[in-house]
Amino acid sequence: MEIDLLTEDDAWLVLPEREALARRAVHAVFEVLGAPEPPSELSVVFTGDESVAELNRAWRGKAGPTNVLSFPAAPGPRPEPGTLGDIVLAAGVVRAEAEAQGKPLANHTVHLIIHGILHLLGHGHAEDATAEAMERLEAEAMARLGLPDPYADATAPGRDMRPRATG
């Protein structure tokens, strides 16, 4: 899979390994799904909260920034060869969440990229059953990378680990 990275906000420069993190996330997702990586292209945009807030308003009708947005290139659960879609991450929101949850920024970023890729592949979390299934896939992908389960402390007061919104 070809991964195109675009860094629009200098706040992301604290994470110089962005491309390697994105590649690891892609590989882990397809390993967990037991599927070969399709000959596709994925765009990952590292931007600021204002840009994500504008996208969130324009595409989802929601005010304010969110941590990650996903924009599939085509509908359906499995991508055809070509472009898989775009994942857009908001620097301030992602950093604030990582700090609030006591997680390294790199780990939280990998988790959100995994979350975004699963959305691009048709997975969702609108209902409890689909949310639980998606969270299991995310946790398994993180484990394959030797990273902790992002939902391990999800029941602790004030520690909502579920990515808030993706489109």
pLDDT digits (tens, 9 = 90+) for 29-61: 999 999 888 888 999 999 999 999 999 999 999
> The CATH number of the domain where 115 resides is what?
3.40.390.30
- Is 18 part of a structural domain of the chain? yes
Over residues 122-140, the pLDDT tens digits come to: 898 878 888 899 999 999 9
- Is 149 part of a structural domain of the chain? no
* pLDDT recorded at residue 155: 45
- Is 166 part of a structural domain of the chain? no
147 pLDDT more than 60 = yes
- Cβ partners under 8 Å of residue 66, min gap 6: 52, 56, 90, 93, 163, 164, 165, 166
**Residue position matching structure tokens 């902790």:** 148
159 pLDDT more than 80 = no
Domain coverage including residue 42: 2-144
- Is 157 part of a structural domain of the chain? no
Number of compact structural domains in the chain: 1
- Is 154 part of a structural domain of the chain? no
Distances (CA, A) of 62 to 54, 56, 97, 112, 128: 9, 6, 19, 19, 21
Over residues 112-122, the pLDDT tens digits come to: 999 999 999 98
Residue 12: how many CA atoms within 13 Å on its side-chain side? 23
**Residue 131 is which amino acid?**
A
Cut 0.75: pTM above it: yes
